[in-house]
Structure 1
Amino acid sequence: MPHNKISESSAHPSQALITFEGVQKTYDGEILVVKDLNLTIRQGEFVTLLGPSGSGKTTCLMMLAGFEVPTSGDIFLRDQRLNSVPPHKRNFGMVFQNYALFPHMTVEENIRYPLKTRKMPAVEADRKVARILDMIQLRDFARRRPTQLSGGQQQRVALARSLVFEPQLVLMDEPLGALDKQLREQMQLEIKHLHEQLGLTVVFVTHDQSEALTMSDRVAVFNDGVIQQIDTPSNLYEHPANAFVAQFIGENNTLPGRIETVEGSRCRARFGDGYSTGALIAPDLTAGDPTRLSIRPERVKLNGSAQGLPNRLQARVREFIYLGDHLRVRCELAGNDEFMARVPVDDFDGNMQPGDLVELGWRDEDVRALDAS
């Protein structure tokens, strides 16, 4: 896969808060867990580092926090080289999955702690603590200890403690991983709103792609120590740079095939036993190359909805999965028996049965011909 030579010319130098330049990291002197990382994080941006376990995202955050040192390359805070600056002198806020609250302190004392270590005058500290307690809606819980709070309330306190001293950067490492689904989604929005209200710069690490899409201005997708693509959530989903990103971000159908003809940004590709489709082609592919065709389930139309579309193919229904507002229809197409179509409940034909032959259809621009790796 390509190394991370990402062009970020749209970031004006004066806006760059954090810059990674050619950063590499190895723990054993042999295997690079981060490879040639070049990344700019702008003032006020919410950037998520997303990827599977072992992809290098957490190591990047730990190097930024100062808990790990780059093997080579440099990390800058504006014009200041950070490589040898210890963590406590970076003045960054940190939020971890395990909250790391002091159990013997009250909520108020936990939040006040960073101000106390910075020797802030009591009157100013009182004002800042009161403001942040109001923001996280825990003023009535100020005298409680962490063990007397729910998981969501503890996470709010950990968040408040990281924000109360108004850091120039907040680092979050899987901060919502211990919460249940409903509370997790609520906290995603709360963190996003705090980011907007306070004008924070946030670097957030997660393996949860829906969380990354919900919260971020930009997402850097990591795999094997390399950023595969850094982009807005909508561009990552609609215009994946390669097959890994297409598969990792959102639900995706993949069909192995070969490019037949190319015309500008479009191509014709064959797959399965005699099937073919039009598609948008990745820039580095040419006629004759193997490819993985990528199409999102919501772009696949069934039967009557497929009429008039340029690509129409027969498939066999294997299963219906009811999900409230829509159904996932699992089909067998060209040897792939996990090919999914997403159909709104109101558009679903209730007479359809597993085993039925159906017509699937899509537009050329809904398919991406990506690398075969």
Structure 2
Amino acid sequence: MQTGSDADTLVRFSGVQKTYDGENLVVRDLNLSIGKGEFVTLLGPSGSGKTTCLMMLAGFEVPTTGDIFLGEQRLNTLPPHKRNIGMVFQNYALFPHMTVEENLRFPLQARKVPRAEADERVSRILDTIKLGEFAKRRPTQLSGGQQQRVALARALVFEPQLVLMDEPLGALDKQLREHMQLEIKHLHEQLGLTVVFVTHDQSEALTMSDRVAVFNDGVIQQIDTPQNLYENPSNAFVAQFIGENNTLLGRVETVEDNYCRVRFGQGLTTRARRVNIHEAGAPTSLSIRPERVHLNGSAATMPNKVTGHIREFIYLGDHLRVRCEVAGNDQFMARVPVTEFCPTLKVGAEVALGWRDEDIRSLDCTANP
């Protein structure tokens, strides 16, 4: 989980815990290193501890125990305005009575940057965000996307060591949100920024990040690259939270190297990759992505085959989601490209489904099948 040598580390949480009432821990024993130039997203459901971690890093909350470092500097008691950290919020927090240019100049004036240097920095950041022609406008005269770019520019103009972003795109519509995701990602790459980003939107996290830390109940469940999180979830929570996922409860029959044989449903069995499963007889949560499920003809060549019944077709342009009932689970999804879909399939029809051993995972399970 570490990011390399100490020289490469910019942010470090060491044994950090946070409680508001002295009994319930919002953050539990957090140990996390973030490298210089990394884009790390803290992802999780509401109440998982991700925003509290960001607020402690920003200085708006203080750790109950443990230490937070920015470079070699311990931050625990350092006030927010002395941390050299830029922040971008969901509500933009722009000054409505100031022009775009004045909003950008404000953090430089607060740091007593000489006027000539401030002029040059403001001009340069306006060019970077492509809003030079809007310099004399007030925030109310800008679109939501333009306001967000100004908020981002204000966090960057004083050249902070670190930029924190707390759900910065939550107020934007879908199309603009996706555009801004790429814009922030490109700015990160172009300027070599170190970014800590908080969101509950897993597609946003996968799109933008070098690494994603998945939080639940105050604990990082897994921190990894987006691809590894999606392809190799370390437990059932991560598998369910990241991307779309099918779950089948079962019990391990045999264990064989990195695979195991699992019995599920009404006597059905499958071979599956073994993750956090150590012995035969253990309950397990089988996990498989909808795009790895094969239907009918393509299912015939798969080593694991079951029969299901079609309950619904959901048309999504380039593909269909086919909802089936499999082993008592009527929310079992298969994702089929439009070009491969058989138009003779009807709701209620029996359908063959299949998958490869390596595409289904046998994960930890708290419920008995």
**TM-score higher than 0.5:** yes
Q: 1:3: which partner in 2?
A: none
Identity %: 76
Superposed displacement of residue 177, structure 1: 0.2
Of the candidates 14, 22, 28, which is equivalent to residue 21 of structure 1? 14
Q: 1:178: which partner in 2?
A: 171
Runs of 4+ in 1 over 2 A off after TM superposition: none
The number of residue pairs the alignment matches comes to: 366
Superposed displacement of residue 283, structure 1: 3.6
Q: 1:33: which partner in 2?
A: 26
User: Which residue identity lines up with residue 319 of structure 1 in the other structure?
Assistant: E
Residues 277, 362 of structure 2: 8 Å contact kept: no
Corresponding residue SS for 1:189? helix
Corresponding residue SS for 1:200? coil
- Alpha-carbon deviations, 1:338-367, whole Å to 9, x = none? 000000000000011000001001000000
Of the candidates 327, 331, 337, which is equivalent to residue 334 of structure 1? 327
Q: 1:88: which partner in 2?
A: 81
Partner Cα separation in structure 1 for residue 88 and residue 285 of structure 2: 39
Partner Cα separation in structure 2 for residue 74 and residue 281 of structure 1: 36
User: Which residue identity lines up with residue 50 of structure 1 in the other structure?
Assistant: L
Q: 1:4: which partner in 2?
A: none
Q: 1:279: which partner in 2?
A: 272
The equivalences for 1:260-339 within 5 A come to: 260-339=253-332
Of the candidates 352, 364, 369, which is equivalent to residue 345 of structure 2? 352
Partner Cα separation in structure 1 for residue 186 and residue 279 of structure 2: 45
Superposed displacement of residue 308, structure 1: 1.4
Corresponding residue SS for 2:112? coil
Partner Cα separation in structure 1 for residue 201 and residue 247 of structure 2: 21
- Alpha-carbon deviations, 1:136-173, whole Å to 9, x = none? 11111100000111111100000000001110000000
Partner Cα separation in structure 2 for residue 299 and residue 35 of structure 1: 35
Q: 1:70: which partner in 2?
A: 63
User: Which residue identity lines up with residue 349 of structure 1 in the other structure?
Assistant: C
Superposed displacement of residue 286, structure 1: 1.7
Residues 44, 201 of structure 1: 8 Å contact kept: yes
Task: Give RMSD over aligned pairs.
Answer: 0.7
Structure 2 unaligned runs (5+)?
A: none
283-292 or 303-312, which deviates more: 283-292
Partner Cα separation in structure 2 for residue 287 and residue 240 of structure 1: 21
Residues 285, 371 of structure 1: 8 Å contact kept: no
- Alpha-carbon deviations, 1:253-280, whole Å to 9, x = none? 0000011111111111010011111110
Partner Cα separation in structure 1 for residue 305 and residue 235 of structure 2: 25
Partner Cα separation in structure 2 for residue 248 and residue 290 of structure 1: 20
Corresponding residue SS for 1:155? helix
TM-score in terms of structure 2 length: 0.98
Q: 1:256: which partner in 2?
A: 249
Residues 288, 359 of structure 2: 8 Å contact kept: yes
User: Which residue identity lines up with residue 40 of structure 1 in the other structure?
Assistant: S
Superposed displacement of residue 62, structure 1: 0.2
Of the candidates 51, 72, 78, which is equivalent to residue 79 of structure 1? 72
Q: 1:209: which partner in 2?
A: 202
Of the candidates 190, 193, 203, which is equivalent to residue 197 of structure 1? 190
TM-score in terms of structure 1 length: 0.97
Residues 55, 224 of structure 1: 8 Å contact kept: yes
Asked if residue 188 in structure 1 is aligned to residue 181 in structure 2, the reply is yes
Superposed displacement of residue 284, structure 1: 4.3
User: Which residue identity lines up with residue 75 of structure 2 in the other structure?
Assistant: L
Superposed displacement of residue 118, structure 1: 1.0
Superposed displacement of residue 285, structure 1: 3.0
Partner Cα separation in structure 2 for residue 118 and residue 76 of structure 1: 22
Q: 2:216: which partner in 1?
A: 223
Partner Cα separation in structure 1 for residue 348 and residue 114 of structure 2: 74
92-101 or 283-292, which deviates more: 283-292
Asked if residue 113 in structure 1 is aligned to residue 103 in structure 2, the reply is no
Structure 1 unaligned runs (5+)?
A: 1-6
Q: 1:12: which partner in 2?
A: 5
Q: 2:138: which partner in 1?
A: 145
- Alpha-carbon deviations, 1:186-242, whole Å to 9, x = none? 000000000000000000000000000000000000000000000000000000000
